[in-house]
Structure 1
């Protein structure tokens, strides 16, 4: 186990963040980031897979909450295609406020580069969604790399979506009102689900991917390989720089596994932008951060949806980096949650 992270009391964003990036970042985020660095954010030497697995709590976001056993929650397991058991946590709204159900259902897939994250990652958001929107939330702890081959996460997600529909009566879910959302890697999973659901005739009401990677960026040798301007502009930005993408890539798609992975999965699983058919897909609410490397590729996916005749809303949050949606205390993060709640209420037909 690594030593506790030591802060850098002298951290100065003017010296550490490139001027062209710092000028675009929201001052609230800069203050948040500066405080985090000064208090002791884990450094690159400590950020190893061994340290993460040995002490995940130390590396968890401040907003992470363990809601196991909370009132209105239910622990379940879903059986994936290969027989693996996938933990899910179901959140129910307050019956006194929202009625006895059955409830519309939103499936959530956390971010973390397909490597980190668990049922604590988005727990606070899930609690607020069920309270404000009156829907049930199924939080899915899909399998991670490197312990599991990349791509199994899509099987886990598809199994969870079908389980929620197949067990709807027992779970007090509506069978006609499903949505799915996720941040970063979770957003990528949701994009794949969008196509799988269309092909299987599964009537998703909408998907809500936030800051999703839509290219096979983990296979890029250099950041300059990306065709998107934001990837190059923010490659040394805070939160998700190119160095972090390479770190995640080494754990998800190491060179000695690439041939095997490409033999297992369709090409578009790696890059949803290359999906063969963009017609007849579920409506999408795509959110990006203006100062995120992945901004342009996320928006490009939205534009392909529009060209395919689908209903799409794209919102760019100014001054925000990658994963801003989980940086509680920021004005833009609070607005993100309001936007999420209002969109979900609308697509699920909830009028309060």
Structure 2
């Protein structure tokens, strides 16, 4: 399809989506269909409508026949949501050292934040195969502004060009860089948190684990948004929500086959941190899951393991939402509400850490 026609089609899809999201609730319900109830939860109308429109547009999977097509589709999806820019945030392009070379990064700072403070090293989601700084730009801006912190978003190497453990190696190198250059980033070594969504949540969790075991300063907090933490086991939520709720069973296999094609490596604690023998002494964690997410049960299991091993944990399941909801903030409604709660909890957790140190 010529690029001009592609642009017109994309603009038409974006207009249809924005129009549908702005309709009165009864009309949106009529389009979305009867409420979906599974495992004691009811899917939010906003999420159900978005999924219905996605189905009608023909975009049903995060995976694709080729990696290039999947990456292009994710980039396109960022232009479909309503424009709701986050103002009051300064953004600076950076280059930070990875395990084998420089990585692109962005440093976000609320304009009113001029004194040194908390820094969140953020790793984007995308199954270790798709996603980049641009796909998670809105999320990082939002967290920076509404949590009142600096955010350093890091673009680690992707599979299949760079397979396991390349993403982990880059993530740990970026965290080490932040610790070593904390003052230049507007922070201090003891005030650096790690966070991410999905695959990025995995990287944040494994960085926190290996930092604690390698003698690096521990992160001040782990922000884990619907993290993937065990690549070896199919849990009940994957059976319940593996089709029709954005992230599919097929997608999960596709991502993992690209990132860690050697099944024997998937139990490695640089990937499946839930299987680590001892989680004692790790950084406090804020673990967020979604009720209609194939990853729900492993996120919950990780929060339980952390608590059992004495790690302070805030666990929050948004029972009516789907995987990836943090990237859907601009759709408004329930997605926006959830992100405001996450940012508020993150702000409070980091403020509590500061108070305890005084």
Q: Structure 2 length as normaliser, TM-score? A: 0.80
1:25-40 residue pairs with structure 2 within 5 A? 25-40=43-58
How far did 1:117 drift? 0.4
In structure 2, C-alpha distance between the alignment counterparts of 1:76 and 1:44, rounded to whole Å: 28
How far did 1:46 drift? 5.6
How far did 1:115 drift? 0.4
Give the corresponding residue for 1:297.
298
* 2:184 alignment partner, SS class: helix
**Does 2:179 align with 1:165?**
yes
The correspondence for 1:124, drawn from 130, 138, 149, is 138
The size of the alignment, in residue pairs, is 328
* 2:134 alignment partner, SS class: coil
In structure 1, C-alpha distance between the alignment counterparts of 2:221 and 2:62, rounded to whole Å: 37
The correspondence for 2:337, drawn from 323, 335, 338, is 335
In structure 2, C-alpha distance between the alignment counterparts of 1:181 and 1:64, rounded to whole Å: 25
1:33-72 residue pairs with structure 2 within 5 A? 33-41=51-59, 47-52=65-70, 57-60=75-78, 62=80, 72=90
Question: Aligned in 2, Cα 1:294/1:79: closer, same or farther, shift over 3 Å?
Answer: same
**Does 2:243 align with 1:236?**
yes
Question: Aligned in 2, Cα 1:57/1:235: closer, same or farther, shift over 3 Å?
Answer: closer
Aligned partners of 1:207 and 1:285 also within 8 Å = yes
Give the corresponding residue for 1:222.
none
Q: Structure 1 length as normaliser, TM-score? A: 0.81
Structure 1 gaps, min length 5? 218-224
In structure 2, C-alpha distance between the alignment counterparts of 1:24 and 1:55, rounded to whole Å: 28
* 1:319 alignment partner, SS class: strand
**Does 2:343 align with 1:345?**
no
How far did 1:330 drift? 4.3
Structure 2 gaps, min length 5? 18-30
Question: Aligned in 2, Cα 1:141/1:301: closer, same or farther, shift over 3 Å?
Answer: same
How far did 1:54 drift? 6.2
1:180-191 residue pairs with structure 2 within 5 A? 180-191=194-205
In structure 1, C-alpha distance between the alignment counterparts of 2:268 and 2:59, rounded to whole Å: 36
In structure 2, C-alpha distance between the alignment counterparts of 1:189 and 1:45, rounded to whole Å: 20
**Does 2:74 align with 1:74?**
no
Q: CA RMSD in A?
A: 3.4
Question: Aligned in 2, Cα 1:175/1:42: closer, same or farther, shift over 3 Å?
Answer: same
1:168-247 residue pairs with structure 2 within 5 A? 168-199=182-213, 200-217=215-232, 226=234, 228-247=235-254
**Does 2:97 align with 1:90?**
no
* 1:131 alignment partner, SS class: helix
